[in-house]
Structure 1
């Protein structure tokens, strides 16, 4: 499933709690509550474990123009940035791993186990 955020600029907007990382992508907000990995073009990876604050390196790697944003059938979120970095969030067995929202218009939630719940003003 393609997410409607390609072409937007992704940036860390808040990490108000250590359990959630929020990113802005245009009119959309991406909330990550599960484990996140950011793979760089040179092969190195940065990880964010739930319960640990994010680092400045992770925030810098997550800033850039989105060239693709897709969700696999298993609920894995992949966002590719113009810089060559790739954000990957795997589904969590017990918790909602991530959600993407445009308040009042759009919501996708990766439910426990990877099932997607999708709401849209168009449907």
Structure 2
């Protein structure tokens, strides 16, 4: 995946994760997904895994990484990302080739999720619903760019 796959829009960022496969799932007080060999999605807040976009009529599972209640996430192992969007309101939406959609909203008190890589990109859902974005040398040094 190349860095040109990242694109900022008025209300969201398109993340350069398209085509990456979930190669590892880790659980502690977070749910961590390794994508390929150098990108991570780390979820710390409650999130929803659903079959299809609306999930009104389909399967829907709420997961809480802080309680290690994330068994439904095992269905993501080996799945390829079709779409990855970080909204500037602090919500993350991932769509996978197996039809599953993962949504994680912002939290009023803590960082609900973060995406690092590929390359030097880092996106963090900040407390209260803002999105922080770092790229290049700024990601290593911790200087906020958005």
Alpha-carbon shift at residue 73 of structure 1 (Å): 2.7
In structure 1, what is the Cα distance between the partners aligned to 2:31 and 2:121? 19
Alpha-carbon shift at residue 71 of structure 1 (Å): 1.5
Which segments of 5 or more consecutive residues in structure 2 lack a partner in the other structure?
1-12, 139-146
Q: Residue 39 of structure 1 corresponds to which residue in structure 2?
A: 50
Q: CA RMSD in A?
A: 2.0
Q: Is the 8 Å Cα contact of residues 12 and 21 (structure 1) preserved in structure 2?
A: no
1:90/1:103 CA distance change after superposition, 3 Å: same
Higher-helix-fraction structure: 2
In structure 2, what is the Cα distance between the partners aligned to 1:103 and 1:71? 15
Give the TM-score normalised by structure 2.
0.74
Structure 1 stretches of at least 4 aligned residues deviating more than 4 Å after TM superposition:
none
In structure 1, what is the Cα distance between the partners aligned to 2:137 and 2:82? 24
Between Structure 1 and Structure 2, how many residues are aligned? 120
1:103/1:79 CA distance change after superposition, 3 Å: closer
Alpha-carbon shift at residue 57 of structure 1 (Å): 3.2
In structure 2, what is the Cα distance between the partners aligned to 1:92 and 1:73? 13
Alpha-carbon shift at residue 33 of structure 1 (Å): 0.3
Higher mean alpha-carbon deviation, 75-84 vs 4-13, is at: 4-13
Higher-strand-fraction structure: 1
Greater C-alpha radius of gyration: 2
Give the TM-score normalised by structure 1.
0.86
Which segments of 5 or more consecutive residues in structure 1 lack a partner in the other structure?
none
Which is bigger in relative contact order (C-alpha 8 A, separation at least 6)?
1
